[in-house]
Amino acid sequence: MSNPIPAISRRRLALGGAALAAGALVGAPAYVHAQGSRQPLKLSIGRIPWSAGNSPMTQYMIEHKLLEKRAAEYGYDLAIDWREYPTALPMVEAMVGNNLDIGMWGNTPIIRAIASGLPISPLVVGEGHLRFLITTRNGSPIRNVAQLRGKTIGVSLGGDPQSALTEMLKAELGVQDVMKEAGIRYVNMPTHAQAASVPTGVDATCTISPAYYAAQASGTVAIANSFGYTEDYYEGPLGKGGGILMPSVKKSQFFPDGYYLHRSFWIGRNALIDQHPRAVAAFIVAQQEAVAALSAMDPGEVSQLVKQYWKLDAAAGGKVVKDDVLFARGWSWPTEKDALAILASSRYMADNKQIQKPLSWETVRAQFQRAAPLVKQAYDKLGAKPEASEFLRTDVADLRGRPVWEIDQWGQPG
């Protein structure tokens, strides 16, 4: 039986009737359960099992039927269609066609969706702090970022890898337009695995860590990562080898997260949130249960839950798990600085003509308001952890801030 949602302040009431309706209905599971009947409901949920933290987290949810169990507490007899996608873009298309209820997207598709008026809302963090790597083939003369001038780089266009790569290149090369000022040409890589293979026709690529670790055996090497450190194939002014801090990263507005503030969010259709807020609350609770359980496990063991997707042993897979912000924190509640990832990336996308204009902070905040009462209710239901001080810590490797249920106190970023 769930706890009733805390009273909503008058100021919160002004945020909109949808959020109020969601908060009011969350207290209903006890009533439905008492009637001895559960409402049948089908949910379609998209996951990217070849990506990072969302992969073992959803696998754990599936194997332990966490969502079905929590949904039953909230009065639903839930049937789930778990769908696997290579990237977020096909999920966006499915949601545009009302053919997907919940999906896991990165900054770039979220921004495009908001800019186009797609009726969606972020729920909780799906994964974050993913390691993006600049890779090439063993034996390549390209050993550092400066040597990428005039070269062709393969990357997933329109997604977070392109955004992360561009921020790395701009900072290291001291340019604002990597194509015009550095003569770099991008070529689209449809999948992370293809990018990690560094195919013929490109000099280098940008890919994500699970795909890179799997491709190392075939000769793929890396020179730098989005956290601001060199990788093993690096050789240049800073020395030779991996683990060297690249000074330019300290000038990034996202430091200590790195050159790029990567966050992916679980996204819900507004119609689902409005019509079935209790089902959405059940999802949020179940997702956090999985995060907490996996955070307490050995990272290598966690990675083996999805060995069929990552194709990594426990040593390499454990690196992916340890990088992820979900397991570093042990919680998935959205914070002020997590939302900043969307705002900042929209500015970059506007500069590069991917959208007409950057999103305003007011627009970004508004996207989180619809589900904020449900997130707070889930937080309270699971024991109000972490403590309030944990959200405001600055001695960690990730940017945090006030939680989403304190959205009224989110300040205007610089």
Fold type of domain 10-128+262-409: D-Maltodextrin-Binding Protein; domain 2 (3.40.190)
**In the predicted structure, residue 192 carries a pLDDT above the cut 80:** yes
Considering the chain, what percentage of its residues have pLDDT values greater than 70?
Answer: 91
Determine contact, residues 155/163, Cβ cutoff 8 Å: no
Contact partners, residue 265, CB within 8 Å, separation at least 6: 104, 105, 110, 122, 123, 124, 125, 126, 334, 338
Q: Tell me the chain's radius of gyration from C-alpha atoms.
A: 21
Summarize the confidence of residues 261-267 as an average pLDDT: 94
Q: Mean pLDDT across the chain, nearest whole number?
A: 89
Locate 412 and state its tokens: 């205007």
Give me the sheet containing 152-155, strands edge to edge.
Answer: 185-188, 152-155, 204-208, 132-137, 220-225
For the whole model, what pTM was predicted?
A: 0.83
pLDDT at 158: 77
Summarize the confidence of residues 31-46 as an average pLDDT: 77
**Which range has the top average pLDDT, 17-31, 325-339, 400-414?**
325-339
Structural element, H or E, at residue 291? helix 277-295
pLDDT at 28: 39
Instruction: Please give, one letter per residue, the 3-state secondary structure of 59-78.
Output: HHHHHHCHHHHHHHHCCEEE
**In the predicted structure, residue 11 carries a pLDDT above the cut 50:** no
Query: Which of 9, 114, 63 lies closest to 308, judged by CA?
Result: 63
Segment 21-36, tens digit of pLDDT:
333 344 434 434 444 5
Q: Which CATH number fits domain 132-251: 3.20.20.70, 3.30.390.50, 2.60.40.10, 3.40.190.10?
A: 3.40.190.10
Cis bond leading into 386, ω under 30°?
Answer: yes
Structural element, H or E, at residue 390? helix 388-391
Segment 340-353, tens digit of pLDDT:
999 988 987 888 78
Phi, psi dihedral angles at 249 (to 5 degrees): -70, -25
Partnered with residue 44 across adjacent β-strands are 81
**Every domain range in the chain assigned CATH 3.40.190.10:** 10-128+262-409, 132-251
Name residue 53's amino acid.
Answer: G
Query: Which of 31, 36, 42 lies closest to 68, judged by CA?
Result: 42
Segment 153-181, tens digit of pLDDT:
999 987 789 989 999 999 999 999 999 99
pLDDT at 30: 40
Determine contact, residues 130/118, Cβ cutoff 8 Å: no
Determine contact, residues 191/288, Cβ cutoff 8 Å: no
Partnered with residue 46 across adjacent β-strands are 83
